[in-house]
């Protein structure tokens, strides 16, 4: 599964283009973009049945 499959929108995907970013700003931007698109990502994981339904204790 790629980010393109999850977002299914070129404008949203273009927001993830990170050129010439410093590590800290890069990490911050990724975090903010993932939070912003969290519902889309979760919905795609649910559609593909990729979420673990059972609790695993370590």
pLDDT digits (tens, 9 = 90+) for 19-42: 766 777 878 888 888 899 899 888
Per-residue model confidence (pLDDT) at position 9: 76
Per-residue model confidence (pLDDT) at position 21: 65
Supply the pTM of this predicted model: 0.57
* Plot region of 51 (φ>0 → left; ψ -120 to 50 → alpha; else → beta): beta
CA distance 12 to 22: 21
Domain boundaries, the chain: 3-47
Q: pLDDT band for 50, please (50, 70, 90 cuts).
A: confident
Note the Cα 33 to chain centre separation in Å. 7
CA distance 58 to 43: 27
Per-residue model confidence (pLDDT) at position 40: 87
Are residues 12 and 36 in contact, defined by beta-carbon separation less than 8 angstroms? no
Q: Which residues contact 3 (CB under 8 A, 6 or more apart)?
A: 13, 16
Q: Evaluate if residue 16 carries a pLDDT over 70.
A: yes
């Amino acid at each position: 599964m790629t980010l393109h499959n999850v977002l299914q929108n070129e404008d949203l995907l273009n927001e993830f283009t990170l050129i010439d970013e410093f590590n800290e700003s890069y990490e911050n931007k990724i975090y903010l973009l993932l939070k912003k698109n969290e519902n889309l990502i979760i919905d795609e994981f649910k559609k593909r049945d990729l979420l673990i339904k059972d609790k695993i204790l370590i």
